[in-house]
Structure 1
Amino acid sequence: MNIEQEDQILQLLTRYLQNNVQDDERKFVEDWIVESESNTTYFEDVKRIWSTSENIEDFDKINVDEQWSKFESGINATAKKKPKLNKVYLKIAASIVLLIGLGFYFNSFFNTEVILLAKTGAENKFILPDNSIVWLNEGSQLTYKKDFKGNSRQLNLKGEGFFEVTKDANKPFIVIANTTQTKVLGTSFNLKNNTNTKEVELVLVTGSVEFSSTNHKEILVPGDRVTAKANGKLIKAVNESLNFSSWKSGILRFEKTSIEQVIKDIALYYNKNIIIENREFANCTLTTIFDNESFEDVLETLKILFDVTYEKNDSNNIVIKGGDCNS
């Protein structure tokens, strides 16, 4: 964005936050926000500053030049150049200087922490500042310093994410999840941080990673899975699950998989509680692919293949009854 474009966008965003835009302007702003990560971050910066400034009395009486001079006196000489922003935006900035002081304002405005939140029903694919790509599972959160400032690309993950990391030998990519650290240079992997059990699980797809907890460390190669227990112990094994990233792909794949494991994967993917009543049926096997199918269609397929019935009980569990491996 050049200075003129930034000025126009800034004024439009300000009116948008005031709910003072036409329908076509509103659509333009909302499309512009999701067009790129940098646009989203820019909007969040403006929104945060606007929200703070709304609480200030006599907003229109703020002397922009006077307050900015005070702001300049409180920061390093390298940052003294007045930002090329319009007067409306400067007035918002000056109001924050008045409200919360120079030091905090400078740190929060110029060293922004980016927070990515995964929405329900969305793809939740994000492009990071180094062009790495991350998909976040619903309800997950990823936090990092704007533009990856520093000697590493450090992020904090809550929930689950699939990462495709751009290689940079001079700036390692580090993901913090609970008490674990995943360090890579360029690779792809699935990382899950279970907030209930405090366990962290990583499945490596390509490349290599260094995965460590408080007192333990493992080097992984493609096909490895490592689980960090709540006490920090690491358990490394060959990954046998075909569906560790089904939340991202929408595909459930089974190859002579026991029905017990099939039901576990289906329950996890669709977020359902499913109980197998017939334990003999649990030992049957299934080879098939469910490609972005509804939960009801999956149940109907099992009904046809294995002659099962299913019903919901009082606890809202789905109980699968019967089942014949030779149907």
Structure 2
Amino acid sequence: MNDAFYIQAARFLSGELNSSEHEAFVAQINQNQELNKEFQTIAQYWNKMDDQKSTRFDSEQAWSKLEHRIANQQDEKRKKFIKAPKMAIAAAIILGFGLLTLLVAYFLPGHNQIRYVAEQRMEITLPDNSTVILKKGSELTLDERFNKKTRNTNLKGQAWFDVAANDNKPFIIEAARTKIEVVGTAFSVDSRPNRPDLIIVKSGTVKVKHKYTAGSMLLQADEYAEADKKSLYAITKVNPNYLSWALQDFYFSNATLDFVATKLEEAFGKNVVFADSSIGKMQISATFKNQSLKEIVDIISETHNLQYNFADENVVLKQRN
């Protein structure tokens, strides 16, 4: 990792990049998946740094180290950065932990909120050790006092939550039409415009409140609820592949390979491409649980006498010669 990257990373964290620089930096980190977990750690520490006095000393040390590394090549930028308190904090964090992640996670201007924006399927470990999987196109924002007395979040899109148990700090999700509260459980929330909120519980108990009425309910394992603008109501079943993007479990019954390809792309972030459109019309009945993309494609290929190869972000299937 070169020094220019550390400079840009610090500017990114402090919000000093212009729009074109921001887009370029996001593209850069999105192309390197090895940077993922490191930024999650950085984000956790950033969120905890409320005392500027205590962070200033560390930041001075960080800049001293950085200055030594770049041999005065970025002196003008350094002078500019030191004027921003969080800029210095970012430098300390980056030097302490080394790398950023593919996450498009950034800090809202004037606040200490952290927002995770999923450019593709994204797994996150939050500061309270809860884990979240965001579907592509979704956003999760942590309240600036997250993990103090409560653990408040805001969701736009689809997410799978595995919440670390803490009876003293309820985990709260503000969705489009509902407010969801738990203390430790595994569940999914779908909160998208122009469609009902959908809550799916796999374990534990989830309390759901409707934002526009007095409606509320407690959901247990394997129970579901929807909420439109007028009411909150229980539902009895959901599509078995509804959570395949998050859990990577698949249930196909006479499914076309076109449909299968869509679900695999959502779950693994690879494009499944057919050399001949007729392949997409082939059907398969199968269940896949805890299997890799390669293992699944192996079975599909054997079933339909296909061959395949992985090329960059694509998996290409074609008829065997």
TM-score by length of 2: 0.55
Correspondence 1:38-49 to 2 at 5 A: 38-40=41-43
1:210 aligns with 2:207: yes
Aligned CA distance change for structure 1 residues 135 and 16 (closer, same or farther; 3 Å): closer
Aligned 8 A contact 2:163 2:171 in 1: yes
1:94 aligns with 2:83: yes
* Percent identical residues: 21
Aligned 8 A contact 1:41 1:114 in 2: no
Correspondence 1:131-210 to 2 at 5 A: 131-146=129-144, 148-195=146-193, 197-210=194-207
**Cα shift at 1:10:** 10
Aligned CA distance change for structure 1 residues 175 and 265 (closer, same or farther; 3 Å): farther
Separation in 2 of the partners of 1:237 and 1:253?
20
Correspondence 1:1-327 to 2 at 5 A: 13-14=6-7, 34-40=37-43, 83-84=56-57, 85-86=59-60, 91-94=80-83, 111-120=111-120, 122=121, 124-146=122-144, 148-195=146-193, 197-213=194-210, 214-215=212-213, 216-229=215-228, 231-254=229-252, 266=260, 269=263, 288-290=286-288
Q: Secondary structure at the match of 1:86?
A: helix
**Cα shift at 1:177:** 1.1
**Cα shift at 1:151:** 2.4
1:86 is matched by which residue type in structure 2?
Answer: E
Separation in 2 of the partners of 1:158 and 1:298?
35
Q: Secondary structure at the match of 1:148?
A: coil
2:151 is matched by which residue type in structure 1?
Answer: R
Question: Which residue number in structure 1 is paired with residue 20 of structure 2?
Answer: none
Aligned 8 A contact 1:33 1:39 in 2: no
Question: Any idea what the Cα deviations from partners look like across 1:90-123, whole Å, max 9, x if unmatched?
Answer: 75242589xxxxxxxxx97895211112233x5x
**Which of the pair has the greater relative contact order for Cα pairs under 8 Å at 6+ separation?**
2
Q: Secondary structure at the match of 1:226?
A: strand
Question: Any idea what the Cα deviations from partners look like across 1:285-307, whole Å, max 9, x if unmatched?
Answer: 98522566699999989989xxx
Separation in 2 of the partners of 1:115 and 1:209?
23
**Cα shift at 1:13:** 2.1
Aligned 8 A contact 2:137 2:157 in 1: yes
1:223 is matched by which residue type in structure 2?
Answer: D
Question: Which residue number in structure 2 is paired with residue 277 of structure 1?
Answer: none
Structure 1, unpaired ranges of 5+: 1-8, 19-25, 46-75, 98-106, 272-284, 305-327
Aligned CA distance change for structure 1 residues 41 and 90 (closer, same or farther; 3 Å): farther
**Cα shift at 1:194:** 2.4
Aligned 8 A contact 2:47 2:112 in 1: no
Aligned CA distance change for structure 1 residues 16 and 238 (closer, same or farther; 3 Å): closer
Aligned 8 A contact 1:143 1:156 in 2: yes
**Cα shift at 1:232:** 3.4
Separation in 2 of the partners of 1:208 and 1:152?
17
RMSD of aligned residue pairs (Cα, Å):
4.7
Aligned CA distance change for structure 1 residues 16 and 194 (closer, same or farther; 3 Å): closer
Aligned CA distance change for structure 1 residues 286 and 127 (closer, same or farther; 3 Å): same
TM-score by length of 1: 0.54
Structure 2, unpaired ranges of 5+: 12-27, 64-77, 87-106, 267-282, 306-321
Separation in 1 of the partners of 2:114 and 2:125?
12
Separation in 2 of the partners of 1:264 and 1:225?
28
Q: Secondary structure at the match of 1:247?
A: helix
Aligned 8 A contact 1:243 1:265 in 2: no
Q: Secondary structure at the match of 1:174?
A: strand
Aligned 8 A contact 1:111 1:145 in 2: no
Question: Which residue number in structure 1 is paired with residue 19 of structure 2?
Answer: none
Aligned 8 A contact 1:129 1:147 in 2: no
Separation in 1 of the partners of 2:185 and 2:40?
22
Separation in 1 of the partners of 2:56 and 2:108?
16
Aligned CA distance change for structure 1 residues 145 and 178 (closer, same or farther; 3 Å): same
Question: Any idea what the Cα deviations from partners look like across 1:16-37, whole Å, max 9, x if unmatched?
Answer: 669xxxxxxx99xx76674251
Separation in 2 of the partners of 1:250 and 1:33?
19
**Cα shift at 1:131:** 0.3
